[in-house]
Amino acid sequence: MHNLDVVIVGAGPAGIGMALELSKIANLEYGVLERDRVGESFRRWPAQTRFITPSFNSNPFGLADINAVDSISSPAIFAGAEHLSGAQYAEYLTFVAAANELPIICGCKVLQVDPDSKSGPEGGFHLVTERGELFTKFLIWACGEYQFPDLKPFPGGQWCLHYAQIEDWQTLEVGNYTVIGGYESGLDSAINLLKLGSQVRLLVRRPTWDLPDVYDPSQVLSPYTRERLREIESSDQLEIVYGADVVEVTREANHSFRIHTADGRQWDEMQPPILGTGFLKGGGAQQIKEFWMWNDEGRIVLNDVDESTHTPGLFLVGPQVRHDQRIYCFIYKFRQRFALIAQQIAQRLELGIEPPEGSEDGIWGPFGNSECCEGCEC
């Protein structure tokens, strides 16, 4: 059995970014396990989907590219694009991982996780994988959320087609569609269907493009999508229905789909409704749900260093991280937590952190400060 100090599960932006931070810890033995390929979630995006946050190379002026996983690389420079596709970003992650010679094992699904309580409160973890067994002192879960869509947000959800199940919008027949959900995936669905010549009814509970008093891009529509919405909102092929709280979808005798809302309204469509209703709370962390504490809202409870309050030595990185009202669901948000976790692990193992050239300590760059969110919007 192999023994490591740290194992990261998942090789998306959270896993790759966390691995880059761990690489600065002297004499640390760590590895990254990925069940598919580096950046697999992004490879599964619909072909037409683009990043809603723009990439731009501001690195020479001390501001990292907003979608970068470290302070040196730039997705904008790598891809030559401002709003990258999923495939472009996956290739960027692959390039960064290879350039830094990160110890990643692809095609290695974790089958079982067992905390080792025999060695004390932080006894480590025994992992069973498709390629064998190993033991690690610390486990960092970085499985993301895109591959874990909420397929049953209401009864009859199985009759619908979720945004995450669409590989290419061009494979859908031109026709009449109802899209359920008024956030990013719902609007992106409507926009792409309209481009193909379909008639679209968009059902939303509230207009997410109306800015609240305190603007948080994790809770309202991005400027990129609002701009695209303005281009199509006057189209006679688009109908936006507000206050539509969908509670059920039924399959009718004529093989149509009937959409029911809480206030009694109904719509019938021959095409399956499109779900733009998001992903499971906790995302990939649901795979080991018994090792986390969950609050009344179904969110994971973490301590101030993003460690499980239920299982010592287990850390969470990625879009599922939340602290009070702070939502870390964008790359530029959750990357700020990497240095915090790396420092915590280094201290517990009594190892030193090697700062990059030109840095005075282990906290570096525009997102290495663990106190970054004291008083700012992220």
pLDDT digits (tens, 9 = 90+) for 332-344: 999 999 999 999 9
Which of 106, 91, 87 shows the shortest CA–CA distance to 11? 106
Examine domains 2-147+280-349 and 157-275 and report if their fold is the same: yes
Which of 54, 81, 52, 49 shows the shortest CA–CA distance to 192? 49
* CATH superfamily of the domain spanning 157-275: FAD/NAD(P)-binding domain (3.50.50.60)
Q: What is the pLDDT of residue 5?
A: 97
Instruction: Label residue 242 left, alpha or beta by phi (over 0 means left) and psi (-120 to 50 means alpha).
Output: beta
- Residues in CB range of 211: below 8 A, 6 or more apart: 220
For 247-300, the DSSP string reads EEEEE-TTS-EEEEETTS-EEEESSPPEE---B-TTGGGGGGGGGSEE-TTSPE
Across the beta sheet with 199-203, the strand order is 161-162, 274-275, 176-180, 199-203, 238-241
Of 22-36, 239-253, 316-330, 352-366, the poorest mean pLDDT is in 352-366
Q: Which helix (H) or strand (E) holds 224?
A: helix 223-232
Query: Which residue stretches of 27-159 are H helix?
Result: 40-43, 75-79, 86-99
pTM of the predicted model, to two decimals? 0.90
Q: What is the pLDDT of residue 325?
A: 81
pLDDT value at 22 more than 70: yes
Alpha-carbon torsion angle 335, 336, 337, 339, nearest 10:
100
Average pLDDT over residues 170-174: 96
**Is residue 317 a contact partner of residue 140, using CB atoms and an 8 Å limit?**
yes
CATH topology of domain 2-147+280-349: FAD/NAD(P)-binding domain (3.50.50)
Using one digit for the tens of pLDDT, what is the confidence trace for 203-262? 999 887 776 656 677 888 889 999 999 999 889 999 999 999 999 999 999 999 999 999
Tokens read off for 191: 């926009």
Tokens read off for 236: 């006679």
pLDDT-derived band of residue 59, with 50, 70 and 90 as boundaries?
Answer: confident
Which of 49, 262, 72, 58 shows the shortest CA–CA distance to 169? 49
Q: What is the pLDDT of residue 208?
A: 77
pLDDT value at 107 more than 60: yes
Domain ranges of the chain: 2-147+280-349, 157-275
DSSP assignment letter at 37: -
pLDDT-derived band of residue 361, with 50, 70 and 90 as boundaries?
Answer: very low
